[in-house]
Amino acid sequence: MADKPNLRDLSLEEIEILIDGLGKEQYRARQIMKWLYANGATSFFEMTNLSRDFRDQIAASATIKEPAIRHIQASRDGTKKVLFGLADGQAIESVLIPGRNHWTACLSTQAGCAMGCRFCFTGSQGFKRNLLPSEITGQMTMLRRHIPEGRLVKNIVFMGMGEPLANYDNTIKAVQILTSDYGLGFSNRKITISTCGVVPMITQLGRDICVNLAVSLNATNDETRNELMPINRTYPLAELLAACRKYPMPGRRMLTFEYILLAGVNDSPKDAKALANLLRGIRCKLNLIAFNEFPGSPYRTPKPERISAFQQVLLDHHYTAILRASHGRDILAACGQLTGRGEHLAPAQGIF
């Protein structure tokens, strides 16, 4: 007998098909979605506007499963890192990042990562598997249910473990659930997908869904980027930037380019000038990120004055160039530091 589908892996349309197969009205699918996401139901028996017979019927046909919170770790700056356990024993991490008037949730789309970027601790752990839609959206539903700050999240960034566009179908389905009126109801203007440069899927993303795009760039020439990011050997800078120029950004929204500054590698004023020239004509902003060091890395964080000089060159070329604060460094929760491993957590941290 085939495994019963997890309703949290299904879109509204797929739940409608399931309900139709049970001989019930399709509008029941919208009721179920509301229970799952708006009301946070964890069992069919909480869905009290469905008849008992129907609840028994659908419980025999489907399941409701989410990842489980294993640890919560708090940084000195207020950032919270959450370790999730998955049904097959894999683990992933999400991060809750404090803002001025809201919180941002940084979600994972894979257990591990296959991209092998040399400055990324996640990539050094290797690739385990893609996450299911339920495991992607489940990070957000569990954060909302169990952590007070989770209910204050206004922005979602897919910048956690994994390359979102390498798990394309599941990531897109998760975004559709997150933004659905019957799901979690987030605005697509508040969703950002980050990529290291999977060019064909950038093009596909622009056709399929309207979300913000952040591209991890980190170098201004193929030689350096080949060394830092193996994907550049498959999709070099010229192809990547051509896809970026075509990516549809409605209204006044801009593409984001992320640039991790590595001491002595890509952080000189000459590099900054090359970056300004490279991105000429693209409606974009730049997030500059001082490298977050991790055990065994060959790279170092540039000195503050070096970072400021780099930023000033871009400002002089009339770019919006923001030095992004790295939250949660002390708990390995900053950009590129997630591993899905809990052995570094203090024993006193909360366990669910």
Residue positions annotated with a catalytic role: 93, 335
Decide if 69 contacts 83 (C-beta within 8 A): yes
How many angstroms separate the Cα of 291 from the Cα of each of 29, 119, 294?
46, 8, 9
Angstrom distance (rounded) from CA 231 to CA 115: 7
Angstrom distance (rounded) from CA 310 to CA 317: 11
Decide if 340 contacts 110 (C-beta within 8 A): no
β-bridge partners, 321: 286
Token output for 282 = 């693209």
Angstrom distance (rounded) from CA 17 to CA 136: 22
- The vertex-243 CA angle with 237 and 247, nearest 5°, equals 140
Token output for 22 = 């049970």
Burial letters 264-290, b for 16+ CB under 10 A, else e: ebbbeeebbbbbbeebeebebbbbbbb
Helix segments in the chain, DSSP class H = 12-21, 27-33, 52-59, 121-124, 133-146, 168-179, 199-208, 222-228, 237-246, 269-278, 304-316
β-bridge partners, 193: 158, 213
